[in-house]
Structure 1
Amino acid sequence: MTRPSQELLRSISDEHVLRSLMSERKLTRAELATTTGLSKPTVSESVRRLVESGLVADTGERTPGGRGKGRVGSFYSLASDVGVALVVTIAPGGVTAECVDAYGDVVGRTHHPIDSPAEVPAVLPSIAAETVAAHNVRLCTVSAADPVDRSTGRLVQLPDSPFLVGELDPVEVLSPLLHGPVIVDNDVNWAAQAEHAAIGVADFAYLYLGEGLGCALVSDGEVRRGHAGLAGEIAHVITVGPSGSAMPFIEVFGQLGLRRSGSTAIDVARLRAADPEVLARAIGGVVTALVTLADPEVVVVGGTWGPSLLDAITAECSRLPRQVGVVGASVAEPSLTGARAEALKRLRTALVEASRA
């Protein structure tokens, strides 16, 4: 049997030490030996290497010692300049940029409201630059309220999308501001990732019902994006209209007079006064399609108005040929939460990889 190389053993030890510090924030070498299960000499060597590489630093804090209390211990933590992740959300309410450190703390945040999606190309670079000015940014995640091309990260214009930013390329805009990758996905996919972490269900559909209509399919714990990344664009799924005739889902809101003037965006204020049974019947048709094609264990209903119709949707779905559980979304700020969690995971991995350089 081939024995692992010393280099491999050192990298494994360094990763254990780094991840313990990411979790506990500060530890002595003795505490690191306990949390990692490594020997004290191994931990000491690992700490020495990580300090030399600039990833770990002595905090200057000491444990009580002397007079029978044992040796004085030094506390170590991640170095203050190891870097952060940038998290950006592009939504009808505006553009938000925040920096997240390896502990998961938000260490900088800026929000810029917008009156029109056309403002985003100008706002995005300025707000990102302002947020990252005081930080070493290693990578970025972006949540956009628009379809996203899976291979390029560019925003895609589809018929009847209410929030048309245009063919913006966040990767091109943001890459000059940081040292690592820019990962772009649409807001509903990020929301589904956050919900997956919260409910722990491996197979579900996340139905977003707000000013726009969207869906994310999670199968075996993974968001399924499709060939071009456009899976879950449900506006044109055929369902039951107000008169009982078949029509695209988005047209239901047009016939009910629930779309904003000159836009396909749904007028949420007017919708709240609409007949919930008519809306639930249309939503039930969409759920039927989801159950038929994806076989989810549960359908999670999120968005600005979807959860308010949960009882009517549940009642409608109870009459469907194939039964499926329906629950309300449980995560606050789901798109931001999902994008932030991915940024944190990638940032921690990037620091581990930096220790091996």
Structure 2
Amino acid sequence: MDVAKPSQELVRSLTDEHVLRALMRHRRMTRAELAAEIGISKPTAGESVRRLTERGLVADTGERTPGGRGRGRVGSYYALTPAAGVALAVTISPGGVVAECLDVFGDRVARAGRQIERPARPSQVSAALREAVEEAGKAAEQPVRLAVVGAADPVDRTTGRLVQLPDAPFLVGELDPVAILTPYAQGSVLVDNDVNWAATAERAARRLDDFAYLYLGEGLGCAIVNDGAIRRGRTGLAGEIAHLVTAGPGGRATRFIELFGELGLRRSGSTAIDVGRLLDSDRAERDVIGAAVAGVIAAVIALADPQEVVIGGSWGPVLLGEIEAATGRLPRRVPLRATGLTGDPVLSGVRAEALDRLRAEVTAAG
């Protein structure tokens, strides 16, 4: 049977893609270096560079290799142009809005931030989001191809809207980041929950395919990673653990979020957990909190069967000892550990996704 040969157009397209990705890895290369890196002939590499130059994606940097006097021909260095564009990496949290522009090399070329007052209202957050994104985009001085957003609120997976659930600790009302950011990005705007992005960063750092990421901070959340993928549920609200029934003071059944009200550990006028007061709580209160978290973990194990449970957030890792002691009494147990990530794991996850999408768009444009 005759095997169909790929068309010339397909071969050229694949070659251009390989050239673009090589330049993303090495920043600048000669045609001879591109040929050796990709495994193609020098004329083929030269033709690809010519096509990409005509499309405005690649340009001669003006730099030359040493040549002459027995050292061979002088080679020209080529690199991606600013037309490759940048990606917006955005986080929306009680700490404020942060907007970063990343280029195809993963370098941050611009950053802007805005504070948010509490309680956070949609109009205020919308204004802060627009201001931060506009400032970062202008500072980048390159086309913004797409945006990726991490938000400290439940996210409707179909629309990308932030959804207010009962006892939500951050945003009062609903917010539509897709509609807000679409005027600032040429392409797609992807929005997801902050805990999912933290779990994405955890998975990349540890190369885990099955685990639960339990976020314990001002708010409460959980991300389930199964077979290497985040499980978001039908509407995107999987992992919203605040209303799980667990053990409260004296072993009495209570909703997880209500436990902190009963212990006097909520911020004034809010359902947000007062992390400072929680960390100053006495041993008895910590044991109660550890038992409540263990009840949540029991439910996660029963439903998701994770390989391990990772504890993140501003107070979860600090109470790991109390949580481990309580989970030791469960009929089913899996290893627990505190996240090893430092800095801002949510922004790390958002950055990684934004960079992957930017590189994919640039190669597609090529």
Which of 327, 351, 354 is residue 343 of structure 1 equivalent to? Answer: 354
Quote the Cα distance in structure 2 between the aligned partners of 1:104 and 1:124.
22
Which string of whole-angstrom CA distances, capped at 9 and with x for unpartnered residues, describes residues 124-144 of structure 1?
Answer: 112211111233100000111
Corresponding residue for residue 130 of structure 2 = 125
Which of 162, 174, 185 is residue 169 of structure 2 equivalent to? Answer: 162
SS in 1 for 2:155: coil
SS in 2 for 1:81: helix
Quote the Cα distance in structure 1 between the aligned partners of 2:357 and 2:58.
18
Which of 317, 342, 347 is residue 327 of structure 2 equivalent to? Answer: 317
Corresponding residue for residue 285 of structure 1 = 295
Shift of 1:165: 4.5
Quote the Cα distance in structure 1 between the aligned partners of 2:143 and 2:222.
35
Which of 183, 186, 194 is residue 190 of structure 2 equivalent to? Answer: 183
Corresponding residue for residue 33 of structure 1 = 35
Which of 5, 8, 11 is residue 9 of structure 1 equivalent to? Answer: 11
Shift of 1:309: 1.1
- AA in 2 matched with 1:16: H
Structure 2 unaligned blocks of 5 or more = none
CA contact (8 A) 1:155 1:167 kept: yes
- AA in 2 matched with 1:147: P
Larger displacement relative to structure 2 (198-207 or 323-332): 323-332
Corresponding residue for residue 278 of structure 2 = 271
Quote the Cα distance in structure 1 between the aligned partners of 2:74 and 2:244.
67
Larger displacement relative to structure 2 (253-262 or 231-240): 253-262
Shift of 1:81: 2.8
**CA RMSD, Structure 1 to Structure 2 (Å):** 1.0
- AA in 1 matched with 2:135: E
Task: Tell me, yes or no, if structure 1 residue 139 matches structure 2 residue 149.
Answer: no
With over 3 angstroms needed to count, the CA separation of the structure-2 counterparts of 1:165 and 1:35, relative to structure 1, is farther
Quote the Cα distance in structure 2 between the aligned partners of 1:165 and 1:121.
13
Structure 1 length-normalised TM: 0.97
- AA in 1 matched with 2:242: A
Structure 2 length-normalised TM: 0.95
Larger displacement relative to structure 2 (77-86 or 227-236): 77-86
Equivalent residue pairs, number: 355
Task: Tell me, yes or no, if structure 1 residue 257 matches structure 2 residue 264.
Answer: yes
SS in 2 for 1:286: helix
CA contact (8 A) 2:92 2:151 kept: yes
CA contact (8 A) 2:115 2:128 kept: no
- AA in 1 matched with 2:315: W
Which string of whole-angstrom CA distances, capped at 9 and with x for unpartnered residues, describes residues 77-102 of structure 1?
Answer: 11123210011111001111110000
Task: Give 4+ residue runs of structure 1 displaced > 3 Å after superposition.
Answer: none
Quote the Cα distance in structure 2 between the aligned partners of 1:292 and 1:39.
57
CA contact (8 A) 1:207 1:302 kept: yes
- AA in 2 matched with 1:126: E
Corresponding residue for residue 197 of structure 1 = 204
- AA in 2 matched with 1:104: G
Task: Tell me, yes or no, if structure 1 residue 236 matches structure 2 residue 243.
Answer: yes
Which of 45, 48, 66 is residue 46 of structure 1 equivalent to? Answer: 48
Shift of 1:318: 2.5
Larger displacement relative to structure 2 (64-73 or 121-130): 121-130
CA contact (8 A) 1:120 1:165 kept: no
SS in 2 for 1:65: coil
Structure 1 unaligned blocks of 5 or more = none
- AA in 1 matched with 2:357: R
Quote the Cα distance in structure 1 between the aligned partners of 2:179 and 2:230.
24
Shift of 1:254: 1.1
SS in 2 for 1:342: helix
- AA in 1 matched with 2:99: A
Corresponding residue for residue 345 of structure 2 = 334
Quote the Cα distance in structure 2 between the aligned partners of 1:194 and 1:88.
15
Quote the Cα distance in structure 2 between the aligned partners of 1:319 and 1:34.
60
Which string of whole-angstrom CA distances, capped at 9 and with x for unpartnered residues, describes residues 200-244 of structure 1?
Answer: 110000100000000110001111100000000000111110210
Shift of 1:317: 2.1
CA contact (8 A) 2:287 2:322 kept: yes
